[in-house]
Structure 1
Amino acid sequence: LSACEERQLWDWALELVNDMQMRSCEPNPESYTAAISTCEESKRWEFGLALLRSGQEVRLPPAVTVYSAALSACEKGFQAESALGLLSEMRGLWLQLDVVAYNAATSALARGQSWRPSLALLAALRAAGLAPTLATRSAEASACEAGGHWR
Protein backbone atom coordinates (compact mmCIF):
# COMPACT_ATOMS: atom_id res chain seq x y z
CA LEU A 1 0.00 0.00 0.00
CA SER A 2 2.86 2.37 0.68
CA ALA A 3 4.17 1.78 -2.84
CA CYS A 4 0.71 2.63 -4.19
CA GLU A 5 0.75 5.85 -2.17
CA GLU A 6 4.18 6.85 -3.47
CA ARG A 7 3.06 6.32 -7.05
CA GLN A 8 -0.48 7.66 -6.53
CA LEU A 9 -2.03 4.38 -7.64
CA TRP A 10 -5.31 4.90 -5.80
CA ASP A 11 -7.18 2.27 -7.82
CA TRP A 12 -4.60 -0.37 -6.92
CA ALA A 13 -4.75 0.62 -3.26
CA LEU A 14 -8.53 0.19 -3.25
CA GLU A 15 -8.17 -3.17 -4.96
CA LEU A 16 -5.61 -4.34 -2.39
CA VAL A 17 -7.87 -3.44 0.53
CA ASN A 18 -10.80 -5.12 -1.22
CA ASP A 19 -8.70 -8.25 -1.82
CA MET A 20 -7.72 -8.30 1.84
CA GLN A 21 -11.37 -8.25 2.84
CA MET A 22 -12.36 -10.92 0.29
CA ARG A 23 -9.60 -13.26 1.49
CA SER A 24 -10.59 -12.80 5.14
CA CYS A 25 -7.24 -11.14 5.75
CA GLU A 26 -8.23 -8.40 8.13
CA PRO A 27 -7.12 -4.97 7.00
CA ASN A 28 -5.92 -2.91 9.93
CA PRO A 29 -6.01 0.85 10.60
CA GLU A 30 -2.54 1.22 9.08
CA SER A 31 -3.62 -0.33 5.78
CA TYR A 32 -6.72 1.86 5.64
CA THR A 33 -4.68 4.96 6.49
CA ALA A 34 -2.25 4.16 3.66
CA ALA A 35 -5.06 3.49 1.17
CA ILE A 36 -6.96 6.67 2.11
CA SER A 37 -3.72 8.67 1.87
CA THR A 38 -3.19 7.23 -1.61
CA CYS A 39 -6.63 8.49 -2.61
CA GLU A 40 -5.82 11.88 -1.10
CA GLU A 41 -2.53 12.19 -2.97
CA SER A 42 -4.28 11.19 -6.19
CA LYS A 43 -6.94 13.87 -5.62
CA ARG A 44 -9.62 11.19 -5.29
CA TRP A 45 -11.01 12.37 -1.95
CA GLU A 46 -14.40 10.76 -2.57
CA PHE A 47 -12.80 7.30 -2.76
CA GLY A 48 -10.89 8.00 0.44
CA LEU A 49 -14.14 8.77 2.26
CA ALA A 50 -15.78 5.70 0.73
CA LEU A 51 -12.88 3.63 2.02
CA LEU A 52 -13.40 5.03 5.53
CA ARG A 53 -17.05 3.96 5.31
CA SER A 54 -16.15 0.49 4.06
CA GLY A 55 -13.80 0.14 7.02
CA GLN A 56 -16.68 0.96 9.34
CA GLU A 57 -18.81 -1.69 7.64
CA VAL A 58 -16.21 -4.37 8.37
CA ARG A 59 -15.88 -3.11 11.94
CA LEU A 60 -12.41 -1.64 11.59
CA PRO A 61 -11.51 -0.24 15.01
CA PRO A 62 -11.80 3.57 14.95
CA ALA A 63 -8.38 5.20 14.79
CA VAL A 64 -7.27 8.82 14.76
CA THR A 65 -4.80 8.05 11.96
CA VAL A 66 -7.54 6.77 9.65
CA TYR A 67 -9.73 9.79 10.32
CA SER A 68 -6.77 12.16 9.91
CA ALA A 69 -6.10 10.68 6.48
CA ALA A 70 -9.77 11.16 5.59
CA LEU A 71 -9.62 14.76 6.85
CA SER A 72 -6.60 15.37 4.64
CA ALA A 73 -8.55 13.95 1.70
CA CYS A 74 -11.34 16.42 2.53
CA GLU A 75 -8.79 19.23 2.45
CA LYS A 76 -7.56 18.26 -1.01
CA GLY A 77 -11.17 18.11 -2.23
CA PHE A 78 -12.24 21.40 -0.61
CA GLN A 79 -14.84 19.45 1.38
CA ALA A 80 -15.40 21.54 4.51
CA GLU A 81 -18.79 20.02 5.32
CA SER A 82 -17.41 16.49 5.10
CA ALA A 83 -14.53 17.51 7.37
CA LEU A 84 -16.98 18.87 9.94
CA GLY A 85 -18.91 15.60 9.76
CA LEU A 86 -15.75 13.59 10.34
CA LEU A 87 -14.83 15.73 13.34
CA SER A 88 -18.27 15.14 14.79
CA GLU A 89 -17.86 11.39 14.26
CA MET A 90 -14.46 11.45 15.93
CA ARG A 91 -15.88 13.18 18.97
CA GLY A 92 -18.80 10.74 19.05
CA LEU A 93 -16.32 7.86 19.07
CA TRP A 94 -14.34 9.55 21.86
CA LEU A 95 -11.23 9.64 19.70
CA GLN A 96 -8.55 11.91 21.13
CA LEU A 97 -7.64 14.35 18.38
CA ASP A 98 -3.92 14.86 17.92
CA VAL A 99 -2.17 17.80 16.29
CA VAL A 100 -2.21 16.03 12.90
CA ALA A 101 -6.01 15.64 13.04
CA TYR A 102 -6.46 19.26 14.12
CA ASN A 103 -4.17 20.49 11.34
CA ALA A 104 -5.90 18.41 8.66
CA ALA A 105 -9.35 19.52 9.78
CA THR A 106 -8.33 23.16 10.09
CA SER A 107 -6.82 23.13 6.60
CA ALA A 108 -9.90 21.42 5.14
CA LEU A 109 -12.17 24.04 6.68
CA ALA A 110 -9.98 26.95 5.60
CA ARG A 111 -9.74 25.67 2.03
CA GLY A 112 -13.50 25.20 2.00
CA GLN A 113 -13.99 28.85 3.02
CA SER A 114 -15.23 27.86 6.50
CA TRP A 115 -12.75 30.10 8.24
CA ARG A 116 -14.66 30.68 11.49
CA PRO A 117 -14.90 26.97 12.39
CA SER A 118 -11.28 26.66 11.27
CA LEU A 119 -10.14 29.29 13.75
CA ALA A 120 -12.35 27.74 16.45
CA LEU A 121 -10.53 24.44 15.89
CA LEU A 122 -7.20 26.16 16.34
CA ALA A 123 -8.43 27.52 19.67
CA ALA A 124 -9.54 23.99 20.62
CA LEU A 125 -6.07 22.67 19.73
CA ARG A 126 -4.51 25.11 22.16
CA ALA A 127 -7.15 24.40 24.81
CA ALA A 128 -6.31 20.68 24.51
CA GLY A 129 -2.74 21.55 25.45
CA LEU A 130 -1.31 20.57 22.08
CA ALA A 131 1.65 22.49 20.71
CA PRO A 132 1.05 24.22 17.37
CA THR A 133 3.35 23.15 14.55
CA LEU A 134 4.42 24.85 11.36
CA ALA A 135 1.47 23.13 9.66
CA THR A 136 -0.79 24.61 12.36
CA ARG A 137 0.51 28.10 11.63
CA SER A 138 0.03 27.57 7.91
CA ALA A 139 -3.57 26.42 8.47
CA GLU A 140 -4.14 29.45 10.69
CA ALA A 141 -2.83 31.78 7.99
CA SER A 142 -5.05 30.09 5.39
CA ALA A 143 -8.09 30.51 7.62
CA CYS A 144 -7.34 34.20 8.17
CA GLU A 145 -6.81 34.68 4.45
CA ALA A 146 -10.12 32.93 3.67
CA GLY A 147 -11.89 35.23 6.11
CA GLY A 148 -10.11 38.35 4.89
CA HIS A 149 -8.57 38.89 8.32
CA TRP A 150 -4.88 39.48 7.66
CA ARG A 151 -3.15 41.63 10.28
Structure 2
Amino acid sequence: MKSLFLFFFLAVSAAIYAQSASTAIKPKPSYCNEPPEAYDSRKNASAVKPAALPKFNSKPVMEYRVQVAILRKTDPTKYPFHRSLVARYQPCEEVWIVESKQSFRNRQDAEKLRAELAKMGYGGAYITTLVGYE
Protein backbone atom coordinates (compact mmCIF):
# COMPACT_ATOMS: atom_id res chain seq x y z
CA MET A 1 0.00 0.00 0.00
CA LYS A 2 2.85 2.38 0.84
CA SER A 3 4.53 1.71 -2.49
CA LEU A 4 1.27 2.37 -4.35
CA PHE A 5 0.84 5.67 -2.51
CA LEU A 6 4.48 6.61 -3.18
CA PHE A 7 4.11 5.77 -6.88
CA PHE A 8 0.90 7.82 -7.12
CA PHE A 9 2.55 10.79 -5.37
CA LEU A 10 5.59 10.68 -7.67
CA ALA A 11 3.43 10.37 -10.79
CA VAL A 12 1.29 13.38 -9.84
CA SER A 13 4.37 15.42 -8.93
CA ALA A 14 6.03 14.61 -12.26
CA ALA A 15 2.87 15.53 -14.18
CA ILE A 16 2.56 18.88 -12.40
CA TYR A 17 6.24 19.66 -12.97
CA ALA A 18 6.00 18.77 -16.69
CA GLN A 19 2.95 20.99 -17.15
CA SER A 20 4.49 23.95 -15.32
CA ALA A 21 7.73 23.62 -17.30
CA SER A 22 5.89 23.67 -20.64
CA THR A 23 3.79 26.72 -19.79
CA ALA A 24 6.50 28.71 -18.04
CA ILE A 25 6.54 32.39 -18.94
CA LYS A 26 9.80 33.46 -20.49
CA PRO A 27 11.60 36.30 -18.71
CA LYS A 28 11.44 39.73 -20.32
CA PRO A 29 14.45 40.83 -22.36
CA SER A 30 16.68 43.38 -20.65
CA TYR A 31 15.72 46.14 -23.10
CA CYS A 32 12.15 46.10 -21.77
CA ASN A 33 13.26 47.62 -18.46
CA GLU A 34 15.55 50.27 -19.92
CA PRO A 35 14.22 53.53 -21.35
CA PRO A 36 15.24 54.15 -24.96
CA GLU A 37 18.35 56.26 -25.38
CA ALA A 38 17.82 59.52 -27.24
CA TYR A 39 20.04 60.18 -30.23
CA ASP A 40 21.68 63.26 -28.68
CA SER A 41 21.81 62.17 -25.02
CA ARG A 42 24.91 59.99 -24.96
CA LYS A 43 26.85 59.95 -21.69
CA ASN A 44 30.21 60.80 -23.23
CA ALA A 45 28.90 63.24 -25.78
CA SER A 46 31.65 65.42 -27.17
CA ALA A 47 31.34 69.06 -28.12
CA VAL A 48 31.25 68.01 -31.76
CA LYS A 49 27.75 67.38 -33.07
CA PRO A 50 27.16 63.81 -34.22
CA ALA A 51 26.56 63.14 -37.88
CA ALA A 52 22.99 63.57 -39.04
CA LEU A 53 20.82 60.51 -39.28
CA PRO A 54 20.65 59.05 -42.79
CA LYS A 55 17.81 60.08 -45.06
CA PHE A 56 15.94 57.52 -47.12
CA ASN A 57 13.81 57.97 -50.21
CA SER A 58 10.87 56.16 -48.66
CA LYS A 59 7.43 57.52 -48.05
CA PRO A 60 4.89 56.50 -45.41
CA VAL A 61 1.89 54.46 -46.53
CA MET A 62 -1.22 53.62 -44.49
CA GLU A 63 -1.88 49.89 -44.19
CA TYR A 64 -4.48 47.82 -42.35
CA ARG A 65 -4.41 44.51 -40.47
CA VAL A 66 -7.14 42.44 -38.88
CA GLN A 67 -6.53 41.60 -35.22
CA VAL A 68 -8.44 38.74 -33.68
CA ALA A 69 -7.15 38.34 -30.14
CA ILE A 70 -4.62 39.45 -27.56
CA LEU A 71 -3.66 36.48 -25.41
CA ARG A 72 -2.14 37.02 -21.98
CA LYS A 73 -0.71 34.01 -20.10
CA THR A 74 -2.07 31.72 -22.80
CA ASP A 75 -0.10 29.66 -25.29
CA PRO A 76 -1.51 30.09 -28.83
CA THR A 77 -0.29 26.64 -29.91
CA LYS A 78 -3.15 25.15 -27.89
CA TYR A 79 -5.73 26.76 -30.19
CA PRO A 80 -6.27 26.22 -33.92
CA PHE A 81 -6.44 29.46 -35.88
CA HIS A 82 -7.49 30.25 -39.43
CA ARG A 83 -4.72 29.83 -42.03
CA SER A 84 -4.66 33.59 -42.72
CA LEU A 85 -3.77 34.39 -39.09
CA VAL A 86 -0.46 34.43 -37.24
CA ALA A 87 0.43 34.84 -33.55
CA ARG A 88 3.28 37.25 -32.69
CA TYR A 89 4.80 37.41 -29.21
CA GLN A 90 5.40 40.82 -27.64
CA PRO A 91 8.01 40.12 -24.92
CA CYS A 92 7.84 43.48 -23.12
CA GLU A 93 4.05 43.32 -22.75
CA GLU A 94 4.11 39.51 -22.30
CA VAL A 95 1.20 38.99 -24.69
CA TRP A 96 0.53 37.16 -27.95
CA ILE A 97 -1.13 39.18 -30.73
CA VAL A 98 -3.21 37.07 -33.13
CA GLU A 99 -3.64 38.97 -36.39
CA SER A 100 -3.72 38.59 -40.16
CA LYS A 101 -0.48 37.58 -41.84
CA GLN A 102 -1.11 40.04 -44.62
CA SER A 103 -1.44 43.80 -44.28
CA PHE A 104 -3.75 45.54 -46.73
CA ARG A 105 -3.32 48.88 -48.48
CA ASN A 106 -7.05 49.08 -49.07
CA ARG A 107 -9.32 49.17 -46.00
CA GLN A 108 -12.11 47.45 -47.94
CA ASP A 109 -9.90 44.36 -48.38
CA ALA A 110 -9.28 44.31 -44.64
CA GLU A 111 -13.03 44.66 -44.04
CA LYS A 112 -13.65 41.64 -46.30
CA LEU A 113 -11.24 39.51 -44.28
CA ARG A 114 -12.74 40.77 -41.02
CA ALA A 115 -16.25 39.86 -42.22
CA GLU A 116 -15.04 36.42 -43.38
CA LEU A 117 -13.41 35.79 -40.00
CA ALA A 118 -16.55 37.01 -38.17
CA LYS A 119 -18.62 34.41 -40.09
CA MET A 120 -16.20 31.72 -38.88
CA GLY A 121 -16.62 32.71 -35.24
CA TYR A 122 -14.04 35.45 -34.75
CA GLY A 123 -16.71 37.96 -33.80
CA GLY A 124 -14.35 40.27 -31.92
CA ALA A 125 -12.05 40.82 -34.91
CA TYR A 126 -11.15 44.45 -35.54
CA ILE A 127 -8.98 46.45 -37.91
CA THR A 128 -5.76 48.16 -36.87
CA THR A 129 -4.01 50.91 -38.81
CA LEU A 130 -0.29 50.66 -39.52
CA VAL A 131 2.24 52.95 -41.10
CA GLY A 132 4.36 51.18 -43.68
CA TYR A 133 7.20 52.58 -45.76
CA GLU A 134 7.92 52.01 -49.44
User: TM class, shorter-chain normalised?
Assistant: under 0.3
Q: TM-score, normalised by structure 2?
A: 0.26
Higher fraction of strand: 2
Higher fraction of helix: 1
Higher relative contact order (CA 8 A, sep 6+): 2
